[in-house]
Chains A and B, each alone.
Chain A
Amino acid sequence: SQQGEEDPQALSIQEGENATMNCSYKTSINNLQWYRQNSGRGLVHLILIRSNEREKHSGRLRVTLDTSKKSSSLLITASRAADTASYFCATGMYTGGFKTIFGAGTRLFVKA
């Protein structure tokens, strides 16, 4: 079973708009990451936030983490057509090795 669940499953917006994706998870974590996947290709790491951090920024990306609610959100500002992809959250829990568990993903479509 998946650790993280993304919401919404799919999102369609106009270029220039902001896109917000949410992730909920079930157990304690050391960190949470967001990855991007273009159709059928390998995932690419976007950003990592540690369990003791609440917010992190990287370029047009803003990630928040609420460990009390076991949830995270990814905001992409001023979206571009090239941002069209699937976005996955991944929770990391170290137990002698790092179990990094991915959610089901959000499909983002940015219309030009």
Chain B
Amino acid sequence: DSGVTQTPKHLITATGQRVTLRCSPRSGDLSVYWYQQSLDQGLQFLIQYYNGEERAKGNILERFSAQQFPDLHSELNLSSLELGDSALYFCASSGRLAGAGANVLTFGAGSRLTVL
């Protein structure tokens, strides 16, 4: 157990629907990262939050949004789902924003999304 908790583990939904993925970072970690892993695109960086604030953005679609709450848990919202959104979504956390080792990531087990 890495200490990063992601729910749900598996999710099956239909095209056009909206889902929310949840992540609780490791105790004491203030930074949360979201990644999408699919067979054809590899591991894509979506977004990073630090202590509630968005700090770095990657290839996140406009249909996707995320936030980090005061208790540091984070949610990734995926809307108007398409077949191509089927993937493993990982959350990772780290302790600091900057400095040596700040981006050493602890990953959760992932949420597997299947869009039918």
- Contact residue among A31, A42, A94 (Cβ-Cβ distance under 8 Å from B2): A42
Q: How many residues of B contact A (CB 8 A)?
A: 32
A99 contacts B109, CB within 8 Å? no
A101 contacts B45, CB within 8 Å? yes
Q: Please count the residue pairs between chain A and chain B whose beta carbons lie under 8 angstroms apart in the complex.
A: 75
Interface residue? B100 (CB, 8 A)? yes
B42 contacts A41, CB within 8 Å? no
A41 contacts B110, CB within 8 Å? yes
Main secondary structure of the interface of A (DSSP, over half): strand
Residues of B within 8 A of A48 (CB): 101, 104
How far apart sit A105 and B101, CA to CA, in the bound complex (Å)? 21
Interface residue? B4 (CB, 8 A)? yes
Residues of B within 8 A of A94 (CB): 98, 102-103
A and B contact pairs by CB, cutoff 8 A, 29 listed? A2-B42, A33-B104, A41-B110, A42-B2, A42-B4, A42-B90, A42-B92, A42-B107, A42-B108, A43-B90, A43-B107, A44-B2, A45-B105, A45-B106, A92-B103, A94-B103, A95-B56, A96-B56, A97-B97, A98-B31, A98-B48, A98-B55, A98-B97, A99-B45, A100-B45, A100-B103, A102-B43, A103-B42, A105-B42
